[in-house]
Amino acid sequence: MNVVTSHHQEEDIFGAEGVEIHPMDFGLVLKATNNFSNEIGEGGFGKVYKGKLHDGQEIAVKKLSEMSKQGSEEFYTEYLENGNLESHLFGNSQSSGELNWQVRFDIIKGIARGLAYMEERSRGMIIHRDLKPSNILLDKDMTPKISDFGLARICERSGRDSSTTKLAGTFGYMSPEYAARGKYSKKLDIFSFGVIVLEIVTGKRNTSFSPSTNLPSYVSFLQFLL
């Protein structure tokens, strides 16, 4: 059984130069995670556990579930102690207070850099398909890292749309053409990014509006602000 680690340089958001992939003995991962005893999260393809290597480095390990049909490998990367963007935007007030305007701007800029790399500098154009605040992790310096590529697709850079009959992702962050007809391109991630930017700036979830209120949609809320 192979275990893969991905170490990022400080300035990297996703997969830029300097990414290293190393196999690790499964026994070392069992020891680091105390036999997968410290669960810290769960994604679409498996649970995530916190661990510590012999040199003191904290790591996060994703253990793929049998239902994921993604193989029998575990993957680990650096542990990002500030959790995800969603918890800071919509969690307790203390976390929200850490996001001053400069931090919010830097997070937006960092996500944009990550998307630019996925589109322009990776071997193939990567479409994430599930970009949302809970998939944006924050390191100790509040630098954003795009995570959870279980639904991602690698496409040609021709700009032509791809299509699927099986929708995957999160409503509220899906572009209209993807949600309605299953068509996707780089525009899907750009649409999701736009929604995230609005949530970062306003502090409001895109799903927090109701037709029964004076502000039935995000659009009406933004018109009210303007």
CA distance 193 to 108: 9
- Among residues 130, 141, 161, 189, the one annotated as catalytic is 130
189 belongs to the catalytic site:
no
Q: In the numeric block, which tokens belong to residue 41?
A: 């999260």
Binding site for ATP: residue ranges?
A: 63
Q: Contacts for 9-18 with beta carbons within 8 Å, 24 or more apart?
A: 10/143, 13/110, 13/111, 13/113, 13/114, 13/117, 13/143, 13/144, 13/145, 13/146, 14/114, 14/117, 14/118, 14/145, 14/146, 15/117, 15/118, 15/122, 16/117, 16/121
CA distance 117 to 68: 27
CA distance 51 to 190: 34
Q: Which residues are catalytic?
A: 130
